[in-house]
Amino acid sequence: MQFTGTENYIASKDLSIAVNAAIQLEKPLLIKGEPGTGKTLLAFEIAKALNKQLYTWHIKSTTTAQQGLYEYDAVSRLRDSQLGDEKINDIANYIVKGKLWEAFEADEQVVLLIDEIDKADIEFPNDLLLELDKMEFYCYETKETIKAKNRPIIIITSNNEKELPDAFLRRCFFHYISFPERETLKEIVNVHYDNLEDELMQRAMDIFYKLRDKRGLKKKPSTSELIDWIKLLLVGKITTQELDEVKNMGTTPPYLGALLKNEQDKEVVVKGY
Amino acid sequence: MFIDFFLILKNNKIPVSIGEYLTLLEALDKDIIDYSVEDFYFLSRSILVKSEEHLDAYDQLFGAYFKGVETISTEDVMNIPEEWLRKNGERFMSPEDMEKIKAMGGLDKLLERVKELLKEQKERHQGGSKWIGTGGTSPFGAYGYNPEGIRIGQDESRHRRAVKVWDKRTFKNLRDDVELETRNMKMALKRLRILSREGVSEEIDLDKTISKTSKNAGMLEIEMVPQKKNTVKVLLLLDIGGSMDDHIELCSQLFSAAKYEFKHLEFFYFHNCLYEFLWKENIRRWDDRVNTLDMFNTFNSDYKVIIVGDASMSPYEIMFKQGAVEHYNEEPGKVWLERLKKNFKDVVWLNPVPEKEWNYVQSIDMIKNIMDNKMFPLTIKGIEEAILALKNTKLDYT
């Protein structure tokens, strides 16, 4: 069982090794990198490649660690008690399972994505230490210990909005997805558009890299932006001649909005081109 | 087997622990990778390095340690004399060693030199002043770069490739924009909180629910309350420019931590001492000023005031009118500081100058007196003390 990327996802060698090591040693894998380099996508592709079910847990600023384990719906139970419902005798009826519980409970090994862990409160990662280490937790209401039947493959992504505590990092493998080199990027584009003209691609890449090298950009365009942009070029039937003009005459690239998401960045390019 | 490499990482401030080393051995045991140095590099990197800012340092150390190793044939390995492989014991870098490294032009330079020497050196060496080895006076032996590990390097000609993955130093850039270590500060600032319930009702209020339900003859009536949130209001006054330039990094750390931690945060800049005006944007300090009296009136006395400044100036700037360095001031800084104290109940001064140097600057002592001794160093411990002073108004520091 080795992950080497899929037909839609080019995984570099170092990424594959990191993923395989994390799977074999049953440790969570923490993925960082520029936005748009396919951090979240990785979990989806691992699940697809290894033919496993995927559970995703998207973290928001209000998410607590407990929500990933379970929540006890006391209000419903109180209400049901009024109605004389038989259900109330079993507290388990009012335990709402979280993503971690579901993943632990699965009969087969699953992939669990904890997306954008840095969005949560600063203490959030610390609250999950034991759960990620031992892959078990205790449910106080039903007095049972939930232990993973099969340790799930856990992929955690972070955008670096907050630092993660050391104790948490110790328990993870870490991989930084760096921006792909030209050759790899070509492969990635090819995976998405297999009948792309070589000429067009060449020029699009030239313009793209020139844009990335531009100083003073707040958010450099990355892989996902390039892919969207090429799609627009194809839909808009932009010719290689038109792209040549951009390259040689220094006019503004067509559909610039797909590459740059920031008003000031656009100004930098439009004025500086 | 890789103990020496592990210790080199540890000695060079890459935070690695025994647990990770054991994990690495386990991974090797499980045959996750082929027997190639490149694969080993990728594997060890993902296990040992936990943050992108350490990637570059890791690449360099890896390059230095494993230079040439990738081309060793099994035969060569069999032929290595046992004494070469004998472990040399642990060596940790002392502060003096760090100084020496600095004197040699930093880690990069040093590693370059190690590489150079390694190219020349061919056999085990002990004593002497140039070669890397044990018991010598060459600086390298003392730094924990174990020669047994590095020296199995072969002739240059046997390298298969010119540039190795780790020698490319792809992650060099990531070092420049190292994220500021603000976590500790955030944790310290977190203690300054006044919890109150505001906003949407999300939590069940047990006491009220019980009493209402019993009044309702057992028919359930649920009462909800909003969650407790930190509603503390903080006013941050920052000294900027001049002697504060030395402390700019520390101050921006504090600023970003405070901005994250406090929802109600207001900030203003001043220069050296508080006078009749402040400003919000440093570029527009001359044309976009805020009158200090207006500021007093805008923010009520609930605001906790944190002043950040080195308090290092000429005593005239505090005691005399027209003493300010930048403009003509009608009233001395002392008067304004007294007014500030009167207007806000809780005021502390955080000083980035190390506490042991405070005695040597007259103005620091003067300001400390004006502030009723509520001046604390801008360190984690100092922030904690300052927060305590802000929370407990009754504490007397005089």
| Successive 10-residue mean pLDDT values, chain B, 398 residues | 84 85 87 81 89 84 75 50 41 54 58 57 47 42 36 34 58 48 71 76 83 85 82 86 78 80 84 85 72 87 89 85 79 89 89 87 89 87 86 79
Neighbours of A60 (CB within 10 A): 10
pLDDT of residue A212: 83
Distance of CA A10 to the CA centre of its chain: 15
d(CA A11, CA A144): 40
DSSP annotation string for A86-145: GGGG-GGGGEEE-HHHHHHH-SS--EEEEE-GGGS-TTHHHHTHHHHHHSEEEETTTTEE
Under an 8 A CB cutoff, do B20 and A166 touch? no
Whether ipTM tops 0.90, in short, is no
Closest residue, chain A, to B210 (C-alpha): A78
Which of A266, A56, A14 shows the shortest CA–CA distance to A154? A56
| One-letter amino acid of B374 | K
Which of B289, B176, B308 shows the shortest CA–CA distance to B237? B308
Do residues A68 and A57 lie in contact, with contact meaning Cβ atoms separated by under 8 Å? yes
Structure tokens that stand for A265 in this block: 């960045």
Chain A / chain B CB contacts < 8 angstroms: 80
pLDDT of residue B113: 62
Q: What is the pLDDT of residues B58-101, one digit of tens each?
A: 888 888 887 766 555 545 544 544 444 443 333 344 556 556 65
Neighbours of A186 (CB within 10 A): 17
Under an 8 A CB cutoff, do A78 and B181 touch? no
Q: Which of B26, B170, B204 sits opposite A74 (nearest CB)?
A: B204
Tens digits of pLDDT across chain A (273 residues):
688 888 888 888 888 899 999 998 889 999 998 888 888 999 999 999 999 999 999 998 888 899 999 999 888 888 888 888 888 888 888 999 999 999 999 999 999 999 999 888 878 888 898 888 888 999 998 899 999 988 999 999 998 777 788 889 888 999 988 888 888 888 888 888 877 788 888 888 888 888 888 776 777 888 888 888 888 888 888 888 888 887 777 778 888 888 888 777 777 777 764
Residues of A with CB under 8 A from a CB of B: 13-14, 17-18, 20-22, 24-25, 27, 29-30, 32, 74-75, 78-79, 81-82, 122, 160, 162-163, 165-166, 169-170, 172-176, 178
* Chain B residues close to A78, C-beta within 8 Å: 220, 222
Length of chain A: 273
pLDDT of residue A31: 93
d(CA A158, CA A30): 7
d(CA A127, CA B80): 49
* Angle at B225 (CA atoms; ends B221, B229), nearest 5 degrees: 165
| One-letter amino acid of A159 | N
Do residues B334 and B312 lie in contact, with contact meaning Cβ atoms separated by under 8 Å? no
In Å, what is the CA distance from A115 to each residue of A18, A22, A23? Answer: 18, 17, 18
d(CA B106, CA B13): 14
Which of A13, A184, A29, A18 shows the shortest CA–CA distance to B38? A13
Sheet bearing A111-115, strands edge to edge: A54-58, A111-115, A153-157, A29-33, A173-177
pLDDT of residue A58: 93
Contact with chain A for residue B33, Cβ under 8 A? yes
Structure tokens that stand for A193 in this block: 């558009």
Contact with chain A for residue B28, Cβ under 8 A? no
Do residues B374 and B396 lie in contact, with contact meaning Cβ atoms separated by under 8 Å? no
pLDDT of residue A156: 94
Beta-bridge partners for B134: B126
Structure tokens that stand for A160 in this block: 């670096």
Distance of CA A52 to the CA centre of its chain: 17
DSSP annotation string for B256-284: HHHHHH-SEEEEEEEBSB--SEEES-GGG
Do residues B334 and B370 lie in contact, with contact meaning Cβ atoms separated by under 8 Å? yes
Q: What is the pLDDT of residues B299-321, one digit of tens each?
A: 888 889 999 888 888 888 888 88
Interface test with A, best of B31, B50, B223, B263 (most A CBs within 10 A): B50
Contact with chain A for residue B197, Cβ under 8 A? no
User: Residue holding tokens 């500060």?
Assistant: B185
Which of B247, B312, B236, B305 shows the shortest CA–CA distance to B273? B312
pLDDT of residue A28: 92
Closest residue, chain B, to A123 (C-alpha): B187
